[in-house]
Amino acid sequence: MEEIKNRIKHYKEEMIEDLEKLVSIPSIRNSSSSSRDAPFGQDIREAFDEFIKIGERSGLKVQEFDGYACHIEYGEQREYVGALGHLDVVSAGDHALWDSDPFTLTQRNGLLFGRGVNDDKGPLLAAFYALKIIKDMEIPLGYSIRIIAGGAEETTWECMDHYFKHNEQPIMGFSPDGNFPIVNGEKGILQFHVNFSNQKTKKHHVISKVHCTEERNFVCDFVEIQMDHVEEAVLRPYLLSADEVQIKNNSARIIYRGERSLSRNPQRGKNALWKLAKDLQDFPFSQVGMNQLLHYIDKYFINDFYGIKLGIHFEDEEMGSTSICPMSITLDESHFNLNVDYRYPKGVDKNQVISHLKKQASQYQGEVIPFNEKNLLFVQEDSPLIVALKKAYQSVIGEEAEVLTKGGASYARTLKNGVAFGATFEGENPKPHMPNEQMPVESLLKACEIYVHAFIELAGN
C-alpha cells in the first residue's frame, strides 16, 4: 500500500536518529556493573531505558521486566503476535580495524555503520516502526502486537527465560535477527570443551601461557604460545608455519594467525590452530597433554569443516549439513581446553554424538564436556505462520519467498511457533560480530515495510 511507503519515508530520519542513540550505547554484557535492575550491567540497562523512551514517546504501552527484557505493545487483546529482538551487542574488538568509531552511527555510500546496526538494534527498530505505523493507520487487529527486546541474546539467553516466566507465549511470532526471505530452520548447537592434562613431565619447554581469539563463536584467527626453559636449537626447526617468533633468555613467544569467520561458517575462515597443530604436535613439550591435544586436532579437524573425520557428519535434505569448528585453546592450572563448535540439522541424535565424541577423545586422554547447547528449530513450510510471512514478503518484494536454514541462533528458538524473518537480504554482507558492521539504509526501510505487512497478515482482524 502506498500509504505504508509514505509513512516509512516520513519516519526515515526519526528512525535513523533513534538508531544513532542506541548505537551510541556500548551495550555489552558487563557483570562488574550489574545491579538488581541491571542484571547484565549498566550499559545494557541504558539501552533498555532508551528503547523504553522511544516506545513511550509514541504513545504505546511499555512494560519492563527487571532489566532482563521489555516490550512495547499495541492492542487490547490478551493473545498477541510477537517480534523478538535484542539490545545487547558483542564487543567491537580492536577499534583500529574499523573505518569509523563502532559506537558512533556513520553513513557512507548509503550504508549505516556501527556495532548493532544489523545485529540487532537496526532490525528491532524496523519492527518497532512497523508497529508504530500499524497504530497510526488504526488497522483493526484480531491480536495485540508486541515488540519484545531482550538483553542477553549474545550470552546466556536468560532474558527470554525471565520474560516467559512472566508472560504467555505469543500465538505466533518472528525474530528480526536473521535473513530474508524466511529462516524456517536453525541448526542445533553443541559447543564443548575437550580437556587434556596440564601435568608437567620434565623441566624443559614448559608452556606457561596460551592465548587465542577472545570472543566465542569464531574461527580461531590468533593463537599465542609462551614457553619457559626453552632450548632454541630444539624449538626452531619445528616452527615452519609460525607468523611471529621471539626467543630470548630461554623463553619463547610464538604466534600463529589465520582469518576470522563465524564458527558456524568455518569454511569461510582460516584456522590458526591448524598451523599450530601441524608445527608442534610432535614437539617435546613438558606437558604431554598439549601433544595429545594437537594430535587430536590434526587427526580430526584439519581440512574438515563438517565432522566427517570425527564420524559425526550428517546431511539433511531440508536443513543441510553439520559443521564443526575448533574455536580456541585455553589453559588453566590443571588442563588445556580445546573449545569446539558443532552445528547439526534434524536427524542427528545429540546425545549419541556426545557419547561418540567422548569415546574418541578418550583415545587421546581427552575429556569431552558440553558447555553450550541449543536445540534446533524447524517449522514446516506449509504452516500458517510461514504462509503469512511469505505473503507479506511477496507483497513488498514482488518475488516468492523461499525458506532457508541457517547455522545461527535467534530468539525464534524460544517460541513455540516462530521463525527468524529478516532483516538481512540476499547478497548483503552485514558483517555481524565483525569490524565495520553495516546495513544499507534502504534495506532497513524495506524491512520495516515488510514487517508492517507481516503484522497485518499475522494479527490483522
Q: Distance (Å, rounded) from C-alpha 323 to C-alpha 150?
A: 28
Helix H, strand E, coil C: the string for 42-80 is: HHHHHHHHHHHHHHHHCCCEEEEECCCEEEEEECCCCCE
Cβ-contact 44, 38 below 8 angstroms: yes
Could you confirm whether 153 is annotated as catalytic? yes
Q: Which residue has the cell 559425526?
A: 312
Residues in the chain: 461
Catalytic member of 18, 43, 73, 88: 88
How far does CA 76 lie from the centroid of its chain?
Answer: 34
Q: Distance (Å, rounded) from C-alpha 173 to C-alpha 176?
A: 10
Q: Distance (Å, rounded) from C-alpha 268 to C-alpha 305?
A: 10
Q: Distance (Å, rounded) from C-alpha 150 to C-alpha 161?
A: 10
Catalytic member of 18, 73, 119, 153: 153
Residue whose C-alpha is closest to residue 289's, from 358, 198, 209: 198
Cβ-contact 82, 415 below 8 angstroms: yes
DSSP string across 420-450: E--EEPTT----TTSTT-EEEHHHHHHHHHH
Q: Distance (Å, rounded) from C-alpha 66 to C-alpha 60?
A: 19
Peptide bond into 47 cis (omega under 30): no
Cβ-contact 75, 147 below 8 angstroms: no
CA torsion sign for 402, 406, 412, 413 is positive
Residue 219: helix, strand or coil by DSSP?
coil
- Region of 120 (left: φ > 0; alpha: ψ -120 to 50; beta: rest) is alpha
Peptide bond into 298 cis (omega under 30): no
Q: Distance (Å, rounded) from C-alpha 213 to C-alpha 113?
A: 23
How far does CA 136 lie from the centroid of its chain?
Answer: 34
Cβ-contact 446, 6 below 8 angstroms: no
Residue 321: helix, strand or coil by DSSP?
strand
Residue whose C-alpha is closest to residue 456's, from 384, 389, 403: 389
Q: Distance (Å, rounded) from C-alpha 103 to C-alpha 19?
A: 11
Residues with active-site annotation: 88, 153
